[in-house]
Amino acid sequence: MRKSISGSLVLVLTVAALVLVLAASGKATPGKRTAAAALRASTPTATLAPPTPLPLTPPPSRVGVPAITPHLKGIPSFTIADVQHYLNTGPGTPFPGGMTTAGTRPVATVIEFITSQQASVLMKGGQTGLSDTALVCYVGLQGPFSTGVISGGPGSKPGIANTGLMVFDASTGNLLVWGFMG
Amino acid sequence: MRGLAQNAQRIQDAEPGSSLIWRLSLAAAMTTGLLWWSLLSIPNAAAAPATLADYDCVTYGHCYAIVTWPGTVTGTETTMTVVALYCDQYHCNTQMNYHYHLSDEMWLVDTTHQAPNCLFGVCWIEVGQAAFPMTPNSNSDVYFWAENRPGMVYLEHPGNVTYYDFGYTTNLSITPSGSGAWSISASSHTYGNGLVGSTTSANNSMQPDTIRIGMELYDYCGYCSDPAYAPSSDFTYNQWSNNSPFFYQGADYPNKGQDYLQYPPPKGYWNVIPAPGTNGGDLVTYCGCD
């Protein structure tokens, strides 16, 4: 009887210990189930990363990164209201330049569908990557912004930019370019 | 669950004299548990550092592992290994109000001539790869290029994802393409071109006087368990041009530039110092950002 009890005890406590270990292991690496994390885990020291096995077919090359979901037929494939919703959804801001220096979400001063060439003029010669006649959505954002997100190199101090900008492809909704203007 | 309850009931039903058995059982279980703990912890050893990382590459500026070559130039090229840059999931996320990033890249810089007309008092064009929150709730590794040019304009142009190029090399170049214009490129093993759309910095009157290559980190990690990370990337075939063909760095005499490699978290070292016969040397950068 005693032998049976002690055997059960060992089994129970071992199982309990295993459960705790598994739970702790899960907590130790939250949100790390990415390809980068996988490679990181398999590369504990600074060594040249071998080519990673490709689990998926590479997505097609495209101009810009996905941002606004198109839902209309034709061009533009989204509305100004969609842009406003995109800018104001979530706790932060989708503007890669970040919040204003006051810590507030930047307010759009202009949202308009214009040609790529017209956007280029607004960006003082900057290019969108699309043809001159292609339709884009230009968004001007009111700062001021701390430009700490970008840097001029070692020792440089963050500056202040008065406005921010984002340009979207009016066809795909992709973010084509973003930036600051002093 | 039911079995556990039954076993607990058996323990309660055991005679008082079974305390020795209880202790021995507990010791055996703990030993077994420790053994399992050690075995199961091995795969996560790299991902969960023994000591929590603590660095600040925000408050006092970004952190770098770079090399600088001063001198009048008009273009620059390098060949860089594409690696999996990892920027922590929390801070490199636009929806968390942070916009931090980690990058391996090359810069062509004007620190003097047009510098007063640029943000930061420095003008530059940069190209490379970065882990950056380009879209909400993402932490993509992408090719990119950016221009900080006279007129107080900073523009950043995202390119293709780098995921499928990990372990391969990309050829980065910034070359003049007419008056006040520069052509930027980043080759991709998968796509041919890592950059898409705009690859020209126009209306740009900067007069470069510096080349930089290496790693940049913009991140804060206060005793966190999820720091930025990057395996080694080699910068080889490092070249410069001044309205003429390209030349390897150090082609005439050993020239490793001005090192800025020992200011972690980003780290770097010269695997091969640029010197005659080395084809521009081999700079290695990495980030075990703890």
Q: Is A72 on the interface with B (CB under 8 A)?
A: no
Q: Is A26 on the interface with B (CB under 8 A)?
A: no
User: How does DSSP assign A20-41, residue by residue?
Assistant: HHHHHHHHHSTT--SHHHHHHH
Q: Spell out which residues of chain A touch residue B46, defining contact as CB-CB under 8 Å.
A: 40-44
Q: Does residue A32 register a pLDDT over 90?
A: no
Q: Distance between CA atoms of B234 and B282, rounded to whole angstroms? A: 6
pLDDT digits 0-9 by tens, B127-186: 999 987 655 444 578 899 999 999 999 999 988 888 899 999 999 999 999 899 999 999
**Which whole-number Å values give the CA distances from B49 to A11, A113, B94, B232, B267, in the listed order?**
31, 49, 26, 18, 18
pLDDT digits 0-9 by tens, B56-75: 888 878 899 999 999 999 99
Q: Does residue A33 register a pLDDT over 50?
A: no
Q: What is the mean pLDDT of residues B251-274?
A: 92
Q: Does residue A13 register a pLDDT over 70?
A: no
User: How does DSSP assign A118-138, residue by residue?
Assistant: HHHHHTTT---SS-TTSEEEE
Q: Does residue B195 register a pLDDT over 60?
A: yes
> All domains of chain B, ordered by start, with CATH?
53-288 (2.60.120)
Q: Which residue has the higher pLDDT, A41 or B278?
A: B278
Q: What ipTM is given for this predicted complex?
A: 0.77
Between B58, B85, B156, which is nearest A177 by CB?
B156
pLDDT digits 0-9 by tens, A62-103: 788 888 999 999 999 999 999 999 999 877 788 888 889 998
Q: Is B269 on the interface with A (CB under 8 A)?
A: no
Q: Is the dihedral of CA A24, A26, A27, A28 positive or negative?
A: positive
Do B29 and A61 lie within an 8 Å CB cutoff?
no
β-pair partners for B156: A178, B146
Q: Is B52 on the interface with A (CB under 8 A)?
A: no
Q: Which residue has the higher pLDDT, B88 or B223?
A: B223
Q: What is the mean pLDDT of residues B235-257?
A: 95
Between B22, B122, B204, which is nearest A152 by CB?
B122
Computed over every residue of chain A, the mean pLDDT equals 75
Q: Are B105 and B172 in contact (CB under 8 A)?
A: yes
Q: Is B202 on the interface with A (CB under 8 A)?
A: yes
pLDDT band at B109 (very low <50, low <70, confident <90, very high): very high
Q: Is B114 on the interface with A (CB under 8 A)?
A: no
**Which whole-number Å values give the CA distances from B279 to A89, B174, B238, B248, in the listed order?**
50, 18, 7, 6
Do B198 and A175 lie within an 8 Å CB cutoff?
no
Output the pLDDT for position B51: 64
Q: Which residue has the higher pLDDT, B86 or A34?
A: B86
Tokens of residue A67, six digits = 């941002």
Q: Phi-psi bin for B121: left (phi > 0), alpha (psi -120 to 50), beta?
A: left
Q: Are B25 and A6 in contact (CB under 8 A)?
A: yes
For residue B13, the SS3 value is helix
Q: Are B220 and B58 in contact (CB under 8 A)?
A: yes
Q: What is the mean pLDDT of residues B243-255?
A: 94
Q: What is the mean pLDDT of residues B9-25?
A: 38
Q: Is the dihedral of CA B48, A42, B238, B127 positive or negative?
A: negative
Between A61, A90, A182, which is nearest B191 by CB?
A61
Q: Distance between CA atoms of B216 and A179, rounded to whole angstroms? A: 19
Q: How far is B239 from chain A (nearest CA, A)?
A: 20
**pTM listed for this prediction:** 0.76
